[in-house]
Amino acid sequence: MVNVVRTPTEAARAQMTPLARLPVFLSLEGKRAVLAGGSEAAAWKAELLSAAGANVDVYSEAPCDELRRMTGNPPKGAIVIHPRAWTAGDFPTAAIAVGAFADDESAAAFAQGARAAGVPVNVIDKPAFCDFSFGAIVNRSPLVIGISTDGGAPVFAQAIRAKLETLLPMGFSAWAAAAVRWRNAIKASGLSFAGRRKFWQLFTAHAIRHPAGEPLQADFDRFVAEVKGEGAAHEYGSVTLVGAGPGDAELLTLRAVRALQAADVILFDDLVSREVLDFARREAKKLLVGKTGFGPSCKQEDINALMVGLAKQGKRVVRLKGGDPLIFGRAGEEIEACKAENIPVQVVPGITAAQGAAASLGLPLTDRHHARRLQYVTGHAKDGRLPEDLDWKSLADPAATTAIYMPTRTLVALVARATAEGLDPRTPALAIARATRTDQATVAAPIGELATALAKADLGGPLLVLVGKTIGDAACARGAGVRRQQA
């Protein structure tokens, strides 16, 4: 067998898909806004502009009562009503213009006047005359979230806003304000870039756990002390082994997502779906260090050296692995490589292929009648051949469910040896390729016939085989043969 050696290669950055609107957060503090119209819709926009700090000049011959009341108690910036129609001379010095008009002719004239003066314009509920739009807003200022559906589904946007309102505690406002206050102090603290990153991670973790707590100077001092106490460890960066799950990006854990969004560099395997990589921040460098069964693979020692070398440069490195890094993922070798160089290393577990496959098929891996034990077995040894040191009696146990990982080339030999040791060849079995992905495919057959059925089906990999009595119902439902799932 000839192994083709592969070197780590940087993955091309995914191109952003087209945007219906560019989300921009406009600074209006102390600037002038022109608002034409006196309706209730105009009053809401006056309130919004004032809340953002703009001084709002309202031009209306018949302002509604709500507008009149607002002049006496604006949210922030002043609101002044001019009891007349707007003119072209009202636009100079304005930063923004908003109009409320019932007819298109008036809307077009207002938009043309604003644009002639170089002022961006919005006409309420008339997108044809707008340079920008107002989305639905979740306000935890200075944390602000805007939601746009390009004007197509405002009710949908409002529903999303309502959902986010329930997810984001009001206390996040105080923590976001604290971040603004503390940013300059952190820059002047003498912490390294990696140390400052660690400070903000501690800050974020604490704010999420204690959203109702008031940010105190003692919190600031504690975060700084904790970072400084770890000393050179943060100068060195760190390594996090992250389980990407079997393929479906929605099976990522929240901790895995946070690790991806904090990473400077991500070293990922071929088994990791590109949808998972979409959770990483766009600025992170992504390097393919693929290891494929019987195909081109990076040497493990090269991966270890790259991982450690990047961490020594102060990078936050995520080693992203399919499934769970602690199950047939060579995590032990990579953890030891980090420890040997005093690199901080942690592990974020993931859903392994057996769990993901079973869940996608609605299949129990254990039950109190047929399977009181679940065992994970590798289908090949380091040299690619069938391992000689498997517990064959255990594989033949009728009260166990066995998950066999990566058995593509060794299944015939494995089944022959296991049946010789007592495994009933009629035991139900199921082969799953690309578990949990949109192109997942399965072949069901008794274990003694599975290799032949697989050869005919030609599923491709990665492959997992489940064996045991709990597989029976699934196998019967599918019948001997192949079932392919498409998006």
Strand positions, DSSP E, 333-462: 345-348, 373-378, 400-405, 428-433, 441-446
Distance CA 234, CA 232 (A): 5
| End-to-end CA separation in angstroms for the chain | 36
Amino acid letter for position 297: S
Report DSSP letters for 290-348, one per residue: -B-TTS-EE-HHHHHHHHHHHHHTT-EEEEEESB-TTSSS-HHHHHHHHHHTT--EEEE
Judged on CB neighbours under 10 Å (0-12, 13-18, 19+), 199 is buried
User: Hey, which residues are catalytic here?
Assistant: 269, 291
User: Do residues 438 and 487 touch, judged by C-beta distance below 8 A?
Assistant: yes
Distance CA 101, CA 38 (A): 9
Distance CA 414, CA 431 (A): 14
Judged on CB neighbours under 10 Å (0-12, 13-18, 19+), 82 is middle
Beta carbons within 8 Å of 173's beta carbon, 6+ residues apart: 140, 141, 142, 143
- For the chain, the C-alpha Rg in angstroms (whole number) is 30
